[in-house]
Every structure is written in C-alpha cells, then in structure tokens.
Amino acid sequence: MSTRPLGVPVVDLDDDAGIVTALSDIGFVAVRGHGVPLQDLAAMRRLLVDLFTIDDETKDRLTITRDDYRGFIPIGYFTPNRDKGALVDAYEGYKMHWECPLGHPVRGECELYGSNRWPDELPDMPGVVASWWVAMDTLSGRIIDALAAAVGMDADVLARAMDAPLTNTTLLHYLPHQADDPSPGFHAHKDITVVTILDPDPVGGLEVRTRDGEWLEAVCPSDALLVNVGDLLEVWSGGRLVSTPHRVSNPPGVERYSAPFFVVPNHLVVVKPLLEPLPGFEPRSVPVGAVTTEVWRTNWPDEAPSDADTHLGTIDP
C-alpha cells in the first residue's frame, strides 16, 4: 500500500512493486518497515548535534585534506563540481567512508580506502556510527536485492560489485537560513551512487525535481526513511530506475542535520547496463573508482574537471 505526499510515495519495504513504481517515476520513495533500529537512528541524530558543537581548534585539526577525504568540512569549503562560479553551500560536514580493514588488499587501490578519523571529544562516536552503518548497509542490501529481482538484474553481479565498497556518508549541519542570504543549503545535484538512504530532519528542506521540472519537497513520515536511486543503479537498470535531481533549501531560522548513506560499489567496478536499455536511455559505462575520486578532487575550488563529459553530480538548478 502506498500514498503520495507532495510527490514522494510512501511504501512498505515488502511492497516490491510499489518501490519499483516510485523509483521508476520520481526516483525517490519513503520506506516504512525498513528495519533500521530506532535506537540507531536516535543515536545518530544526537551525534550529529554533538559533533558540530566541537571547538574550532579540533575542527581545524581534523579538517578534510586532499590526501585524506575524511574529517570535518568547514562551512563554504567546497564548491559545486562543475559550476565554480556558483554560490557555496551553507553547510558544514564530517566525511566518513567504509572502514576498510587494516591489511585488506584493496587498501592500495585508491585513497578512498582507509580508516576513518574520530574526535577524542566523542568517545562513543565509533560505536554509534558502526551500529548505524551495519543497519543502513543491511537495508541497502535488501532494497538492491528486491530491485534486482523486480526488474530482472542479476543479483549475483550486484553482490560481487559491493564486497569492498566505496560506500560513504557525509554528516551534515545546515546553518539557519537568513532572508538576505542567497546561498543554497546544498546545490542541485544527482547522486553518483547505487542508492542513497536518508533519515531526514523533520524540519524539512529536501526538494526533488520531477520529470516536468517542478521542485517538490520530499516529505517523509517520521516512521519512514527516504531512499533514492543514484546514477549507477540507473545505468545498471538500463534506465528503468531513475536518478533524480535534488537539492536542499535551508528552512528559515532553524538548524538542520542529516546523514545521507551513499551506497557505492567497489573501486574497480565499471558499471554498464545489465539490461537492454529502454528507448531514449543513452547507455554508458561508469568506472566507479575514477569517477568517485574525480568528484572529490573537483570539490576543491581550484581543481577543474579532467574532461567535459564525465558527470560529476552537479546539475543546472
């Protein structure tokens, strides 16, 4: 059973047909019965608030670098990947990637494999993140398996692509929006992921663009999680599942927090259609590691994309 509040359907996790319909249409769905423990979601919400109250000296010491894409992202630090003249986004963040085990053979493949950084001021943070990560990863696996079965993709191929993932999260703190500030919360973009899962802040602000070009708020019930298709799943599915532009407009006068869980395959995976592409869908191949690294490299304002064709997330608003 599903309902449709302001453009985003609400569907039970066991309703495969409803999920496929939503992700084939607007590319977003609010999933009930997701199985992520409420204590994990609550602990992560508390962590988000505590994390961004840490003193500036610690934030400076743990700021993300070009050599280590983990740690604090200061306000206004990054620019949209392609539009270097755009206004900077009004958020601060903290970047974490899959905790790659010491000695794992993939560690030498790229800088995105490694160990996360943990502020001494938050000794419970590793445990909170680890428990939440396992729960979100389990949910993502259930969703991907269900989608594979529903549209006819080979689930074994997808599983092998995810055994050493570049899955990551950005813990986000959005500043209260001021009436005279034209800066976006987060610029319009598409996710270069398989799926993204989000426990959205009740204050709202996430907006989704329909196929008609209209921006709608992605309202999500308190007992559901938002799931959206990323570009990689769109390619794998031959265009059957749709990667949709979205953005964040900071609500006026209030702070906003979120922790999107970005599900990304192994560094060496090259994503190509697993099904005959739908009419009008342009098939392409995406080298996951190269594109993911390029996305992070070009976040720095003085770094230009290496070519004009590779999609790096940023779109016209």
Reported as a single tens digit per residue, the pLDDT across 105-148 is 999 898 899 999 999 999 999 999 999 999 999 999 999 999 99
Reported as a single tens digit per residue, the pLDDT across 274-299 is 999 999 999 999 999 999 988 888 88
Cβ atoms of 246 and 209 within 8 Å: the answer is yes
Sign of CA dihedral 194, 23, 147, 228: positive
Query: What superfamily in CATH does domain 2-297 come from?
Result: B-lactam Antibiotic, Isopenicillin N Synthase; Chain (2.60.120.330)
pTM here? 0.94
* Among the listed residues 81, 56, 23, 26, the one whose alpha carbon sits nearest the alpha carbon of residue 208: 26
Domain residue extents for the chain: 2-297
pLDDT at site 5: 43
Cβ atoms of 167 and 97 within 8 Å: the answer is yes
| Mean pLDDT to the nearest integer, 62-72 | 93
Per-residue confidence band for 1, with pLDDT thresholds at 50, 70 and 90: very low
What is the DSSP secondary-structure string of the chain? -EE-STT--EEETT-HHHHHHHHHHTSEEEEES----HHHHHHHHHHHHHHTTS-HHHHHHTB--SS---EEE-TT----SS-TTSPPPSEEEEEEE-BPPTT-GGGGT-TTSB-----TT-TTHHHHHHHHHHHHHHHHHHHHHHHHHHHT--HHHHHHTTSSB--EEEEEEEPPBPTT----SEEEE---SSEEEE---TT--EEEE-TTS-EEE----TTEEEEEE-HHHHHHTTTSS----EEE-PPBT--EEE--EEE--BTT-EE--SSPPPTT-----EEHHHHHHHHHHTTSTT---S-SSS--SB---
pLDDT at site 302: 83
Read off the amino acid at residue 50: D
Higher pLDDT, 227 or 7: 227
**Percent of the chain residues past pLDDT 90, beyond the cut:** 72
pLDDT at 177 over 80: no
Cβ atoms of 7 and 216 within 8 Å: the answer is yes
Mean residue pLDDT of the chain comes to 90
| Mean pLDDT to the nearest integer, 58-84 | 86
313/255 Cα distance (integer angstroms): 25
Higher pLDDT, 254 or 86: 254
Per-residue confidence band for 303, with pLDDT thresholds at 50, 70 and 90: confident
pLDDT at site 249: 86
Count CB neighbours of 149 within 10 A: 12
Residues in contact with 69: Cβ distance below 8 Å, sequence separation at least 6, in sequence order? 95, 97, 111, 112, 296
pLDDT at 307 over 50: yes
Residues in contact with 123: Cβ distance below 8 Å, sequence separation at least 6, in sequence order? none
229/215 Cα distance (integer angstroms): 17
Sign of CA dihedral 299, 258, 131, 53: positive
pLDDT at site 184: 66
Reported as a single tens digit per residue, the pLDDT across 261-271 is 999 999 999 99
Higher pLDDT, 143 or 2: 143
User: In angstroms, what CA-CA distances link 287 with 5, 242, 295?
Assistant: 36, 19, 12
| Mean pLDDT to the nearest integer, 87-99 | 90
